[in-house]
Structure 1
Amino acid sequence: MTISDIASDITPVERVPTLRHYAMTAPTHFTVEYAINPWMDTSNPVDPALAAAQWEELRQTYLRLGHTVDVISPEPGLPDMVYAANGGLVVGDTAVVARFRFAERAGEADAYAAWLTAAGFRPRFTEHINEGQGDLLVVGSKILAGTGFRTDVAAHAEIAELTGLPVVTLELTDPRFYHLDTALAVLDDTTIAYYPPAFTDASRATLTSLFPAAIEVNSADAYVLGLNVVSDGRHVVLPSAATGFAAELRAFGFEPIGVDLSELLKGGGSVKCCTLEIYRDPR
């Protein structure tokens, strides 16, 4: 089916943006000095100046859209701290700090807990591994929770108890899509996009049941982390290389805004990975 065919089958919807609150950490210390996901190649050097410029363009994009962006101080020795989404899950007054699977990232939890405390939150902790908004995405009044590579499924019940929100477990199967936010994008309170081959049959059935009108993204867009997006309900900030997905978004009434984060992709992250959202309380 072509994009024109999709567009002809869609009833026009007026997409309404809402102002959002984000936090980001500059890539001051970003490099690829170890490999803990399939995107990382220690022989492929990072251009620090380009990484900083691309990150700043993402921050300015949010500001141009009217959103609030807090900047978290990066810590030496934590090159992946730029992927702020992994630092925790913040919903209303509840701030759950990440518990990372790999020792290389463990120090980030302390850094993000300190920032949350300084920002007026009382950090909460899980017993089991959770990797923040990498695997925990709020959609409407529920949380979609990934597992399979990073976040332990046992943490899902803890997240539900801490936030008071229902949690839907989704199992990932392809190591290239090691976090939920690499394979699924929340576009508004009722609309998602996802890459079906990244999920088990049971999880695909769950998504079909919950989101029958979901956008299914093709491999070409998924393989440039095209689903690693941030949406305010109308404007969808996404990797500029995901041109097919951008066309789908337009057909569904969204306004895609492409940004080039090719240097940050070297570490296995893109738009959403670099963006911790401070979610309003949906209850």
Structure 2
Amino acid sequence: MTDPTYQFTRAITRRPGQSVIDGLRAEDIGTPDLGNMLEAHAAYVTALQSTGAKVIELEPLEAFPDALFVEDTALCLPKGAVLMRPGAPSRRGEVAEMKPALRDCFEDLREVTGPGHIEGGDILVTGREILVGRSDRTDAAGVGQLTEIVADWGYAVREVITPPGVLHFKTDCSLLDAETILSTRRLDASGCFEGYRVLHVPEGEEAAANAIRFNDPVIMAAGFPRTAEMLDRAGFRVVEIDNRESAKLDGGMSCLSLRF
């Protein structure tokens, strides 16, 4: 029996463009190097393809420096996809650019129209519900509209709160299987994962919490050996990807693809 929470046949990614150096960032820790970023992005695509999935690679969008972080533009579910409404005004045009690719893949394509806003980085789909974190990029109105849309497909949404200073809900967590979540201690302390099996990233490796389970492997950022060892011990196959350049723009493993 397949598990729709982590078993996928397709993914959409977008290569970074020259304008990526102007991408949004909460804190300036350096300018991304496009060459290194393209190399890491290619490794990421290869990791997805290695599972047998088809990867649709979209061209860079120079008008939108953050467009490589495609996850924020949509939520893809087995019964359809929902176009988001990003909280960062400079990113709202990315949604229209993603729409044709999703229309090719989904018969039922719906849209969050506002006035609220919501980004895919705040949405975690588990085996029993859709968790949506309120953050600086996702507000109550956006959560409310998404709740109405996905209820039609039989999904329940639960709103949770993202810790202060954390960009997206999934900055601090990821799904390992239908009932297992990788999380920072600060996020789990809120009680939002009660009833789930939670694995905590080791202290000092909080940035490793944003990973993706994509078919068999867990794809995570390289450079966090204790987290990788913990996941290996827990029975997961780990693939590590250099995320140093994307991290300068607050990006992680989940941000770089739409998976369905």
Select which of 225, 234, 244 maps to 1:243.
225
Aligned equivalent of 1:253: 235
Select which of 125, 144, 151 maps to 2:138.
151
Letter in 2 for 1:186: L
Letter in 1 for 2:32: V
1:141 aligns with 2:128: yes
TM-score by length of 1: 0.81
Deviation, structure 1 residue 30: 4.7
Residues 121 and 58 of structure 1, relative CA distance in 2, 3 Å threshold? same
Aligned equivalent of 1:267: 249
Percent identity, aligned pairs only, is 20
Deviation, structure 1 residue 157: 2.8
Aligned equivalent of 1:3: none
Select which of 96, 100, 119 maps to 1:114.
100
1:210 aligns with 2:195: yes
**Per-residue Cα deviation, 1:149-172 (whole angstroms, up to 9, x for no partner):** 211123223222212211122211
**Per-residue Cα deviation, 1:155-207 (whole angstroms, up to 9, x for no partner):** 223222212211122211232x21111101101111111112146x5xx2231
Select which of 169, 174, 184 maps to 1:195.
184
Q: Quick check: 118-127 or 82-91, which moved more?
A: 118-127
Q: Which runs of 5+ in 1 are unaligned?
A: 1-16, 279-283
- Number of equivalenced pairs: 250
**Per-residue Cα deviation, 1:119-176 (whole angstroms, up to 9, x for no partner):** 34443222220112x011211131111112211123223222212211122211232x
Residues 24, 66 of structure 2: 8 Å contact kept: no
Residues 123, 169 of structure 2: 8 Å contact kept: yes
- 1:181 and 1:101 map into 2 onto residues whose CA distance is 15
Aligned equivalent of 2:86: 100
Select which of 144, 153, 158 maps to 1:168.
158
Residues 23, 275 of structure 1: 8 Å contact kept: yes
- 2:7 and 2:77 map into 1 onto residues whose CA distance is 16
Deviation, structure 1 residue 101: 1.3
- 2:109 and 2:19 map into 1 onto residues whose CA distance is 25
Aligned equivalent of 1:37: 26
- 2:32 and 2:191 map into 1 onto residues whose CA distance is 39
Residues 16, 68 of structure 2: 8 Å contact kept: yes
Aligned equivalent of 1:4: none
TM-score by length of 2: 0.88
RMSD over aligned Cα atoms: 2.0
- 1:94 and 1:234 map into 2 onto residues whose CA distance is 23
Residues 100 and 235 of structure 1, relative CA distance in 2, 3 Å threshold? same
Residues 219, 253 of structure 2: 8 Å contact kept: yes
Deviation, structure 1 residue 92: 2.0
Aligned equivalent of 2:3: none
Letter in 1 for 2:146: I
Misfit runs of 4+, over 3 Å: 17-20, 118-123
Q: Which runs of 5+ in 2 are unaligned?
A: 1-5
Letter in 1 for 2:88: F
Residues 136, 167 of structure 2: 8 Å contact kept: yes
Deviation, structure 1 residue 272: 1.0
Residues 30, 82 of structure 1: 8 Å contact kept: no
Letter in 2 for 1:171: I
